[in-house]
Structures are given as structure tokens and as C-alpha cells.
Amino acid sequence: MASQEACAQLLDQLPAIGEIKRQFHRVVPAVGNNVGAAGAIPMLGILAAEGEQRASDLAERLRVDLSVISRQVAALIEAGLVARATDPTDRRVHRLAITDAGLATLRAHRTQMVELISRGLDDWSDDDVVRFAAGLRRFADSVADAVTPPRLTAAPPIAV
């Protein structure tokens, strides 16, 4: 288990992630019709990788409120990057899918980001980059597991 001191040192470095994100936003243009990359790209990525999703599933995956997803979805639909269709199994529910324009936008954004990161890491080895990426993913998952309340399961029936 990591010591409190080591965790404090890591905590002190977390603002660097915000700095990196701000740098990316300055360099990489917005997505679609004034749809900010910050909200659009993760959602487009999930839809591209996993296929159609309900808005509630996207909200859970991205760990944001459904109202946030609703606003982002409306902007992405207006920009032509996402399409909404009625779920054939439950006509009350809508499913969201990435469009061809959304895929093209996602690919272009990814190309720009890889170029930017590549320039910044020109003195890193591939092994260094891969280890850092794996460690960052592990860190994000571990923190998410620590702060996400466990799902409640139904209590067993009480014998009378």
C-alpha cells in the first residue's frame, strides 16, 4: 500500500493534468459547430468503440450527471456528429450512435492529439510512454473505485 507521504506527493502533481488539458484546448480546435472537444471527444470515443448507447449509460460511463450528457448530446446532434434513434425494444428510450461525420471528427482530433503528444514526448522511449499510460489508467481506475459507492444488491429474504 502506498504511504500517505507518497500519495501527498502525487496529489501535489494532479494540477499538472489540468495544465495539460488547458494546453490542449488552446491548440486543438473545437469540435463541430462550437461543440467543445472536452465533452464531445470522450462521448464520441465511447460511441465509436462500443456502438449505440443510451444517454444514461453514457452518463454513467463518463461519470457525469445526465443533464450534462443531455446538453452535450443536443449539441452533437445539432453538429451532425451523433444521431438519435428510438430503441426498438423500448419505444420510450432513445439510443445514440456516432455518425460518419462524428467518426471523421474523432479521427481528425485523435491525429492532432497524437501529433501534439508526440512532439512533447520526443525524448521519451516507447517503453516509458507505455508504462506511463498503463500507470495513469491504473491510477484513474483505482481512484474511481475508491470514490464510487458500491452498488447495493438486494438483501436476502428474511426467514420467518
What per-residue confidence (pLDDT) applies to 46? 95
Helix-strand-coil percent breakdown of the chain, rounded to 5?
65, 10, 25
Fold adopted by 15-146: Arc Repressor Mutant, subunit A (1.10.10)
pLDDT score, position 113: 87
21: which 3 cell numbers? 488539458
State the pLDDT confidence band at 148, using cuts at 50, 70 and 90: confident
Query: What is the percentage of the chain residues whose pLDDT exceeds 90?
Result: 48
From 29-33, 83-87, 97-101, the region with the lowest mean pLDDT: 29-33
Confidence at 3, pLDDT banded by 50, 70, 90: very high
| 41 contacts 28 by C-beta, under 8 angstroms | no
Tell whether the model's pLDDT for residue 160 goes beyond 90.
Answer: no
The overall average pLDDT reported for the chain is: 86
CA 10 to chain centre: 22
- 91, pLDDT greater than 90: no
| pLDDT above 60 for 147 | yes
Q: Given this model, what pLDDT does residue 40 score? A: 84
Instruction: Identify the CA nearest to 106 among candidates 28, 53, 21.
Output: 28
For the entire predicted model, the pTM comes to 0.73
CA distances from 135 to 57, 118, 131, 142 (A): 26, 18, 6, 10
Polymer length in residues for the chain:
160
